[in-house]
Structure 1
Amino acid sequence: MDDPIDESLNAVDILIRQLLSMWEQTVSLLPSLVIALIVLIITWIIARFATRIADKLTYKTNMRASLQELVETIVRLAIWIVGLMATLTILLPGLTPASLIAGLGFGAVAIGFAFQDIFENFMAGILIMIREKMRIGDYIECEGVEGVVESIALRETHVRRNNRELTIIPNSILFKNPVKILTDDDKRRHEIIAGVAYDTDLDKAKNVILTAVQSAEQVDKSKQVDVFACEFNSSSVDFKVRWWSGSKPRAMHESRDNVIRAIKRALDEAGIEIPFPYVTHTFKEPVPLATKD
């Protein structure tokens, strides 16, 4: 029968030998760890200086801020990928660059399926930054979100609404759906409906409205003002009034206010009535109560 004390000593001896073996492997790996750490530090330094150089070069070309950020990110990412591949090759001598690239290819496919939405937003962000439209500061409208573009990142875009609320929109939504860029030009055409009574001389009413709009503040006098009779309404003949003014929301509200005030004042002075909507009510005859015989 084996002695329990001898078995305990053998187990301790095996454990000590394994610990010594691990320590020897760690000591032998120390030079590689030091070299790998040096490579990482050098990679960090190169990435930092390369980003500064890319920033200076893109600044001289008057490139948009979002596109400058994209170039800097690509430069930084490329340098770090090379540095990490060199670090792994140093720590794992049996790992060749070819096998590492092949492994990254299979891993990228697996990660792509797992993080499909993230990569979709990432690629959409790159394409949004490359195209010239939708710059920072533009007023946009997309999928019920309306506001000023504050920043365009690789995965998301920040839009500040008129009430100062911040909305974060995934870039894939902006890329796959129609986006209205209301401030793409400095001027934008606005329109309202103005109605006059049926007994009004329409030629006279049109001239009065046209003169009023042309004299209103914040209306672009270099562009044509349109006044079209467009509809027979229930209690009025409606004119569609169109003019050009600033494209920003504040300018739109101010010019609309000035135009409506000018039209109302001019029609009143000309004695032209702006009728109230005529609402008809249908009354049903009361149903007599049933009487007993």
Structure 2
Amino acid sequence: MNYIATLRDQVQAMATGFVAALPSIAIALIVLVITWIVARFAVKIADMLVGRTEIRPNLKALTDTVVKLAIWLIGIMIAAIVVMPGLTPAALFTGLGIGAVAIGFAFQDIFENFLAGVLIMLREKMRIGDIIECEGITGKVEKITLRETHVRRLSGELTIVPNSMIFKNPVEILTDEIKRRHEVVVGVSYDTNLDHAADVIRRSVESVDGLEPDRGVDIFAQEFNSSSVDFLVRWWAGSTPRAGWESKDKVVRAIKAGLDAAEIEIPFPYVTHTFKERVPLSQSTDSAD
């Protein structure tokens, strides 16, 4: 058997088949180019239509992706049928189904993040610009894609979070409302009249600018501490972390000034220290022996 001649015949047959398929390949490439152009125009048209509505930015991005993906799937199917005339849409869908199962097992995490991204975009909560806290990550949502969410930490670092983590775990949205409640603990000495101290604290907090007066101020005697009776002071102010820090700074300063003016003592915490008796090294060595 002449192996070289057989190989030569096979190569020639493949070359002949490739040359014969060149027109179909060229048409398929033209179809792909047309698909690319149509996808771009379709996205622009979708943007124009969506722009007339009050749709959220993340849903707008999802709409663009779905439109582009649908057009590309149709274009690739037409190009495949042009190159392989014996390929029918039914057979193509069957092959895509089997391939999707195999790819799904191989890229499970990727598809999980993709589906989580779609569901996150469909949510009404957690929009771009919100400050969230999830699994120890606190920051501002800058971007939501189909695979990941970009969170800018309060200290400036950018954290790229997989969508599946945000979808599976509880997410605290700090800026869901314009105002939220803040609190601080204030201690007064045991010889203080608690009603008088609570009244002084209330007047001090209510004098601070920038708080939410309609929500009021809560003053609760909370517990007997080691050197003081502690009050829990709660008020409403801006929901962003900076607004909370600024309001807390003003409230603490006002309470301190009010208690000083009323001559109400804020005691130092009573700390007990335990001292161990020092034993000379020689003595400890002898006792060990």
Q: TM-score band, normalised by the shorter chain? A: over 0.9
2: CA distance, partners of 1:11 / 1:282: 93
Residues 1:52 and 2:47 are matched in the alignment? no
Partner of 1:243: 235
Summarize the Cα distance change of 1:245–1:19 in structure 2 as closer, same or farther, 3 Å threshold. same
Name the residue aligned to 2:34. Answer: 42
Please name the residue that 1:259 is paired with.
Answer: 251
- The question of 1:218 aligning with 2:215 is answered no
The Cα offsets for residues 88-123 of structure 1, whole Å up to 9 and x where unpaired, read as: 111111211101101110111111111111111000
> In the alignment, which of 4, 17, 28 is matched to residue 25 of structure 1?
17
Distance in 2, matches of 1:196 and 1:16, equals 99
1:235–1:24 CA distance, 2 compared to 1 (3 A): same
Q: 1:203 to 1:67 in 2, by over 3 A?
A: same
2:71 maps to 79
CA distance in 1, matches of 2:277, 2:15: 103
Q: CA deviation at 1:138?
A: 0.3
Residues 139/20 of structure 1: CA separation in 2 closer, same or farther (3 Å cut)? same
Q: Which shifted more, 24-33 or 258-267? A: 24-33
Separation of aligned partners in 1, 2:93 and 2:179 = 52
Structure 1 CA distance, aligned partners of 2:194 and 2:266? 13
CA distance in 2, matches of 1:195, 1:78: 64
In structure 2, distance between residues paired with 1:122 and 1:11: 51
Instruction: Decide which moves more: 128-137 or 212-221.
Output: 212-221
| Ranges in structure 2 where 5+ consecutive residues have no aligned partner | 285-289
- Is 1:61 the counterpart of 2:63? The answer is no
Alignment length (residue pairs): 283
Mapping 1:80-229, distance limit 5 Å: 80-229=72-221
Three-state SS of the structure 1 residue aligned to 2:213 is: coil
What letter corresponds to residue 49 of structure 2 in structure 1? L
| Cα distance, 1:157 vs structure 2 | 0.2
Distance 2:258 2:171 in 1: 38
SS at match of 2:49: helix
**Distance in 2 between residues matched to 1:117 and 1:19, nearest whole Å:** 42
How big is the shift at 1:22?
Answer: 3.3
Cα RMSD between the aligned structures?
Answer: 2.2
Q: How much does 1:280 deviate?
A: 2.6
Amino acid at match of 2:254: A
Distance 1:107 1:15 in 2: 32
Structure 1 residue 13 displacement after superposition: 6.3
Please, which runs of 5 or more residues in structure 1 have no aligned partner?
1-6
Q: Give the CA deviation at 1:281.
A: 3.6
TM-score, normalised via structure 1 length: 0.91
Percent identity (aligned): 62
After superposing the two structures, state which structure 1 stretch, 277-286 or 69-78, moved more.
Answer: 277-286
Matched residue, 1:271: 263
1:27, distance to aligned residue in structure 2 (A): 2.4
1:3 is aligned to none
Distance 2:170 2:6 in 1: 70
- C-alpha offsets along residues 193-232 of structure 1, whole Å, 9 cap, x if unaligned? 0000000000000000000000012211222100010100
Stretch moving more, 231-240 or 49-58: 49-58
TM-score, normalization by structure 2? 0.92
**C-alpha displacement at 1:14, in angstroms?**
5.8
Deviation of the 1:83 alpha carbon: 0.7
Tell me the amino acid that sits aligned with residue 82 of structure 1: I
Residues 56, 278 of structure 1: CA spacing in aligned structure 2 closer, same or farther, 3 A cutoff? Answer: same
Instruction: Tell which structure's C-alpha radius of gyration is larger.
Output: 1
